[in-house]
Amino acid sequence: MLSQNYLLRVRLAAFVIAAGLLATSCAGSLFKVKPVVELPPLTGEVKSASAGGVTVRVAPLLSDEESQELFEANLPLGGILPLRLELVFDSGVAVETRKVRFRLRDGEGREWKLVSPKAAVGRILKANDVYAYNPNSRKQFEKEFVAYGIDLTSPLSDTDRRHQGFVFFETPKKEPVASPRGLVLIVERLPQPVEIPLN
Protein backbone atom coordinates (compact mmCIF):
# COMPACT_ATOMS: atom_id res chain seq x y z
CA MET A 1 0.00 0.00 0.00
CA LEU A 2 1.25 3.45 -0.91
CA SER A 3 2.13 5.79 1.89
CA GLN A 4 0.22 9.00 2.53
CA ASN A 5 3.41 10.97 2.07
CA TYR A 6 3.95 9.53 -1.43
CA LEU A 7 0.36 10.31 -2.50
CA LEU A 8 0.71 13.86 -1.21
CA ARG A 9 3.90 14.33 -3.27
CA VAL A 10 2.22 12.98 -6.43
CA ARG A 11 -0.74 15.32 -5.99
CA LEU A 12 1.54 18.28 -5.34
CA ALA A 13 3.63 17.50 -8.44
CA ALA A 14 0.49 17.23 -10.59
CA PHE A 15 -0.76 20.54 -9.24
CA VAL A 16 2.56 22.29 -9.93
CA ILE A 17 2.65 20.92 -13.50
CA ALA A 18 -0.96 21.98 -14.17
CA ALA A 19 -0.34 25.46 -12.74
CA GLY A 20 2.81 25.81 -14.84
CA LEU A 21 0.97 24.82 -18.02
CA LEU A 22 -1.87 27.21 -17.23
CA ALA A 23 0.54 30.09 -16.54
CA THR A 24 2.48 29.59 -19.77
CA SER A 25 -0.67 29.24 -21.87
CA CYS A 26 -1.97 32.59 -20.60
CA ALA A 27 1.32 34.46 -20.86
CA GLY A 28 0.75 36.03 -24.29
CA SER A 29 -1.64 38.75 -25.35
CA LEU A 30 -5.39 38.05 -25.14
CA PHE A 31 -5.78 38.84 -28.85
CA LYS A 32 -3.06 38.81 -31.49
CA VAL A 33 -2.86 42.44 -32.61
CA LYS A 34 -1.00 43.09 -35.87
CA PRO A 35 2.11 45.23 -35.20
CA VAL A 36 1.62 48.92 -36.01
CA VAL A 37 4.60 48.93 -38.38
CA GLU A 38 2.60 46.59 -40.63
CA LEU A 39 -0.30 49.04 -40.93
CA PRO A 40 -1.16 49.18 -44.64
CA PRO A 41 -1.44 52.52 -46.47
CA LEU A 42 -4.75 54.37 -46.15
CA THR A 43 -6.67 53.22 -49.24
CA GLY A 44 -10.13 52.09 -50.29
CA GLU A 45 -13.16 54.04 -49.07
CA VAL A 46 -11.14 57.08 -47.96
CA LYS A 47 -13.05 60.30 -47.35
CA SER A 48 -11.23 63.61 -46.97
CA ALA A 49 -11.67 67.33 -46.39
CA SER A 50 -9.32 70.30 -46.01
CA ALA A 51 -9.44 72.87 -43.24
CA GLY A 52 -7.06 75.82 -43.12
CA GLY A 53 -3.80 74.12 -44.04
CA VAL A 54 -4.73 70.64 -42.76
CA THR A 55 -6.21 67.76 -44.73
CA VAL A 56 -8.23 65.21 -42.77
CA ARG A 57 -8.47 61.75 -44.33
CA VAL A 58 -10.63 59.05 -42.75
CA ALA A 59 -11.58 55.45 -43.49
CA PRO A 60 -14.01 53.62 -41.19
CA LEU A 61 -13.56 49.90 -40.52
CA LEU A 62 -17.22 49.06 -40.99
CA SER A 63 -16.88 45.29 -41.34
CA ASP A 64 -15.93 42.82 -38.65
CA GLU A 65 -13.50 41.19 -41.12
CA GLU A 66 -11.40 44.37 -41.24
CA SER A 67 -11.22 44.66 -37.46
CA GLN A 68 -10.51 40.92 -37.14
CA GLU A 69 -7.59 41.28 -39.53
CA LEU A 70 -5.94 44.08 -37.54
CA PHE A 71 -6.90 43.30 -33.95
CA GLU A 72 -8.06 39.65 -34.05
CA ALA A 73 -11.10 40.92 -32.18
CA ASN A 74 -14.59 41.75 -33.37
CA LEU A 75 -14.85 45.43 -32.45
CA PRO A 76 -18.30 45.97 -34.06
CA LEU A 77 -19.70 43.18 -31.87
CA GLY A 78 -18.51 45.17 -28.84
CA GLY A 79 -20.26 48.30 -30.11
CA ILE A 80 -16.96 49.91 -31.13
CA LEU A 81 -16.43 51.56 -34.52
CA PRO A 82 -12.76 52.22 -35.28
CA LEU A 83 -12.01 55.11 -37.65
CA ARG A 84 -8.60 55.23 -39.24
CA LEU A 85 -7.51 58.88 -39.42
CA GLU A 86 -4.76 60.84 -41.03
CA LEU A 87 -4.12 64.53 -40.37
CA VAL A 88 -1.80 65.98 -43.01
CA PHE A 89 -0.14 69.39 -42.76
CA ASP A 90 -0.51 71.20 -46.08
CA SER A 91 1.06 74.60 -45.46
CA GLY A 92 1.03 77.70 -43.32
CA VAL A 93 1.50 78.13 -39.58
CA ALA A 94 1.96 75.09 -37.32
CA VAL A 95 -1.36 73.61 -36.15
CA GLU A 96 -1.82 72.59 -32.52
CA THR A 97 -3.50 69.17 -32.42
CA ARG A 98 -3.71 68.56 -28.67
CA LYS A 99 -7.12 70.22 -28.46
CA VAL A 100 -8.61 68.66 -31.61
CA ARG A 101 -11.99 67.04 -30.87
CA PHE A 102 -13.72 64.31 -32.84
CA ARG A 103 -17.46 63.72 -32.86
CA LEU A 104 -19.50 61.16 -34.77
CA ARG A 105 -23.19 61.52 -35.60
CA ASP A 106 -25.40 59.02 -37.40
CA GLY A 107 -28.31 59.57 -39.82
CA GLU A 108 -30.80 59.62 -36.93
CA GLY A 109 -28.94 62.50 -35.29
CA ARG A 110 -27.57 60.36 -32.45
CA GLU A 111 -24.10 61.20 -31.12
CA TRP A 112 -21.64 58.34 -30.79
CA LYS A 113 -19.30 58.46 -27.81
CA LEU A 114 -15.57 58.89 -28.41
CA VAL A 115 -13.76 56.34 -26.24
CA SER A 116 -10.10 55.94 -25.41
CA PRO A 117 -8.29 52.85 -26.71
CA LYS A 118 -8.17 51.48 -23.12
CA ALA A 119 -11.95 51.85 -22.76
CA ALA A 120 -12.36 50.13 -26.15
CA VAL A 121 -10.33 47.20 -24.81
CA GLY A 122 -12.76 46.88 -21.89
CA ARG A 123 -15.74 46.83 -24.29
CA ILE A 124 -14.04 44.21 -26.49
CA LEU A 125 -13.38 41.91 -23.52
CA LYS A 126 -16.94 42.30 -22.25
CA ALA A 127 -18.48 41.63 -25.70
CA ASN A 128 -16.34 38.52 -26.15
CA ASP A 129 -17.18 37.28 -22.62
CA VAL A 130 -13.54 37.32 -21.55
CA TYR A 131 -13.57 37.54 -17.77
CA ALA A 132 -10.89 35.10 -16.59
CA TYR A 133 -7.44 35.98 -17.91
CA ASN A 134 -3.88 36.58 -16.87
CA PRO A 135 -3.52 40.30 -15.97
CA ASN A 136 -0.23 40.41 -17.89
CA SER A 137 -2.07 39.21 -21.00
CA ARG A 138 -4.52 42.08 -20.70
CA LYS A 139 -1.68 44.56 -20.23
CA GLN A 140 0.04 43.20 -23.34
CA PHE A 141 -3.18 43.44 -25.37
CA GLU A 142 -3.80 47.00 -24.12
CA LYS A 143 -0.24 48.01 -25.00
CA GLU A 144 -0.55 46.61 -28.53
CA PHE A 145 -4.05 48.08 -29.04
CA VAL A 146 -3.25 51.54 -27.64
CA ALA A 147 -0.31 51.80 -30.07
CA TYR A 148 -2.91 52.13 -32.85
CA GLY A 149 -4.49 55.25 -31.32
CA ILE A 150 -3.73 58.54 -33.07
CA ASP A 151 -1.05 60.61 -31.32
CA LEU A 152 -2.06 64.25 -31.11
CA THR A 153 0.55 65.42 -28.62
CA SER A 154 2.79 67.25 -31.10
CA PRO A 155 1.64 70.00 -33.48
CA LEU A 156 1.45 69.55 -37.24
CA SER A 157 4.20 71.56 -38.94
CA ASP A 158 6.80 71.47 -41.69
CA THR A 159 8.90 69.07 -39.57
CA ASP A 160 6.01 66.83 -38.41
CA ARG A 161 3.67 66.74 -41.41
CA ARG A 162 1.46 63.73 -40.64
CA HIS A 163 -0.38 62.17 -37.70
CA GLN A 164 -2.12 58.88 -38.31
CA GLY A 165 -3.86 56.25 -36.24
CA PHE A 166 -7.30 55.25 -35.00
CA VAL A 167 -10.03 56.89 -32.98
CA PHE A 168 -12.72 54.67 -31.48
CA PHE A 169 -16.41 55.45 -31.14
CA GLU A 170 -19.01 53.58 -29.09
CA THR A 171 -22.56 53.20 -30.37
CA PRO A 172 -25.17 55.37 -28.59
CA LYS A 173 -26.80 52.46 -26.75
CA LYS A 174 -23.66 50.26 -26.52
CA GLU A 175 -25.28 47.85 -28.98
CA PRO A 176 -23.25 46.07 -31.70
CA VAL A 177 -22.42 48.17 -34.76
CA ALA A 178 -24.93 47.08 -37.42
CA SER A 179 -24.81 48.87 -40.79
CA PRO A 180 -24.91 52.44 -39.48
CA ARG A 181 -26.28 54.92 -42.00
CA GLY A 182 -25.54 58.58 -42.51
CA LEU A 183 -22.39 58.68 -40.38
CA VAL A 184 -20.73 62.09 -40.27
CA LEU A 185 -17.36 62.72 -38.61
CA ILE A 186 -17.02 66.22 -37.16
CA VAL A 187 -13.50 67.46 -36.42
CA GLU A 188 -13.37 70.56 -34.23
CA ARG A 189 -10.64 72.90 -33.03
CA LEU A 190 -8.66 72.85 -36.24
CA PRO A 191 -8.16 76.21 -38.01
CA GLN A 192 -11.62 75.48 -39.49
CA PRO A 193 -14.15 72.85 -38.37
CA VAL A 194 -14.63 69.92 -40.75
CA GLU A 195 -17.59 67.63 -41.42
CA ILE A 196 -16.92 64.46 -43.42
CA PRO A 197 -19.77 62.16 -44.51
CA LEU A 198 -18.52 58.58 -44.10
CA ASN A 199 -21.30 56.61 -45.83
The number of residues making up the chain comes to 199
Asked whether residue 19 is domain-assigned, the answer is: no
Q: Is the pLDDT of residue 8 over 80?
A: no
User: What is the pLDDT at residue 159?
Assistant: 82
Rounded Cα gap, residues 6 and 20, in angstroms:
21
In a domain, 9, yes or no: no
pLDDT at 151: 84
55-71 pLDDT per residue, tens: 888 987 756 677 777 77
The pLDDT tens digits for 160-190 are 888 888 899 998 888 888 778 888 999 988 8
128-166 pLDDT, tens per residue?
777 766 777 778 888 888 888 888 888 888 888 888 888
Q: Which domain holds residue 54?
A: 31-197
- CATH number of residue 90's parent domain: 2.60.40
Report yes or no on 21 lying in a domain: no
Backbone φ, ψ for residue 107 (5° rounding): -65, -20
Q: Does residue 102 lie within any of the structural domains?
A: yes
**What pLDDT was estimated at residue 199?**
81
Cα gap 125→74, rounded to integer Å: 10
- For residue 51, being part of any structural domain is answered with yes
With contact defined as beta carbons under 8 Å apart, do 37 and 180 qualify? no
Residue type for position 66: E
pLDDT at 30 over 60: no
Give residues with Cβ within 8 angstroms of 36, minimum separation 6.
147, 148
Give the DSSP letter of residue 175.
Answer: P
Query: Given strand 194-197, what is the order of strands in its sheet?
Result: 47-51, 54-60, 80-89, 162-170, 111-115, 101-105, 184-188, 194-197
What pLDDT does residue 105 have?
Answer: 92
What is the pLDDT confidence band of residue 114, given thresholds at 50, 70 and 90?
very high
- The better pLDDT of the pair 40, 149 is held by 149
Q: Is residue 5 part of a domain?
A: no
**For residues 91 and 33, which has the higher predicted lDDT (pLDDT)?**
91
Number of domains making up the chain: 1
